[in-house]
Chains A and B, each alone.
Chain A
């Protein structure tokens, strides 16, 4: 376990920290993490993991920076409006830490490319904004045996947990077997979202990713953290493994990636964002 002088200077506060130390910092430097979504949740996740020296960080997003993103997506600056989010995010991450490798995935995650994109990574972090991609990421990580750090936000409420394939541990489908019918849950563009909220939930996801990589502490496995920013209330509830789960249960009925737009009832061929935003072209944020 040898560090360069620059690494010792840069990571000094982790190297002397009980719980990380030189051993934990080496694990971070050797780790490969995929951040899906370079938005509200992805912003703090990508910046903190870059700062922590996670050696390889993939960032996946197909969108471009919009002015209405800047209220919460703190990885992007005003001058980045109109640029691809992954390019903007990668610039910021490299500015924070030029010694790490940032891989830009400027694409939509789909059943056709999910395995190829996810396979090289050790840990996947879900910072997406729609149900089809959430179920896709869940199923793909389950099939590939990759741990998934889940986070989700709406208005003032946040949720976070960790899914680890195998060992009779729950997956996203155990937590929510079915997505809500389209139209019953407004998107952030329709319902608004408190700007600091993804900063808190994304920081929790980054924390859990570091714990998974270093093997320290008690990860949020089998527990769902529910955060209410208005009431400043943190609650933890149990997430049970469902023996009848179609993906991770005893007798799985779904053994390959499916058509997630159809599963979630969104119009076929629509991109997730078009489907989410189709009803409102004037974001309230």
Chain B
């Protein structure tokens, strides 16, 4: 089941600069695993070594933060859009 993933600029280097990529999975965990297999290294700063979500990166299914859905076990359906959002601090540099 293909799901579209919106990538922040910082992760696009792993995907040849693509702003959006497709991956498969019926849950967020499966989706990110598939994403990692397609673009090695892309989820390094999204998922911890222990298999949890980092707390400085937010993941949204459509407009909802997955921490308030089922976290990595959030179920996905056809047509969902997953957005990855890292904390960024820039502005005044």
Contact = CB atoms under 8 A, between A and B. Distances in A.
Contact of B65 (A37, A181, A240, A285): A240
A152 B65 contact: no
Nearest to B91: A41
Given A235-B83, A238-B65, A151 B55 contact: no
A160 B88 CA distance: 11
Given A230-B9, A237-B63, A129 B91 contact: yes
Interface string B76-93: 000000010111111111
A180 interface: yes
A157 interface: yes
Given A40-B93, A130-B89, A176 B9 contact: no
A228 interface: yes
A91 B38 CA distance: 53
A122 to B, nearest CB: 21
Interface in A210-264: 224, 226, 228, 230-231, 233, 235-240
Interface in A139-162: 151-157, 159
Interface residues of A, number: 57
B88 A185 contact: yes
Given A40-B91, A176-B55, A154 B83 contact: no
B89 A237 contact: no
A63 B93 CA distance: 9
Contact of B91 (A153, A177, A240): A153
Contacts of B55: 176-178
Interface string B54-86: 111110100111011000000000000001011
Chain B's interface size range is 20 to 34
A157 B60 contact: no
B21 to A, nearest CB: 13
A42 interface: yes
Interface string A265-283: 0000000010011000001
B92 A129 contact: yes
A193 B88 CA distance: 12
Given A156-B9, A226-B85, A231-B19, A127 B91 contact: yes
Nearest to B63: A237
B1 interface: no
Contacts of B65: 237-240
A201 B92 CA distance: 12
Contacts of B60: 237
A24 interface: no
Given A230-B9, A238-B65, 7 more contacts: A39-B91, A39-B93, A176-B55, A187-B90, A233-B6, A236-B63, A240-B68
Interface of B: 6, 8-10, 19, 45, 54-58, 60, 63-65, 67-68, 83, 85-93
| A-B interface, 9 closest residue pairs, ranked by CB to CB distance from nearest | A39-B92, A129-B92, A37-B92, A154-B88, A188-B93, A180-B56, A41-B91, A178-B55, A188-B90
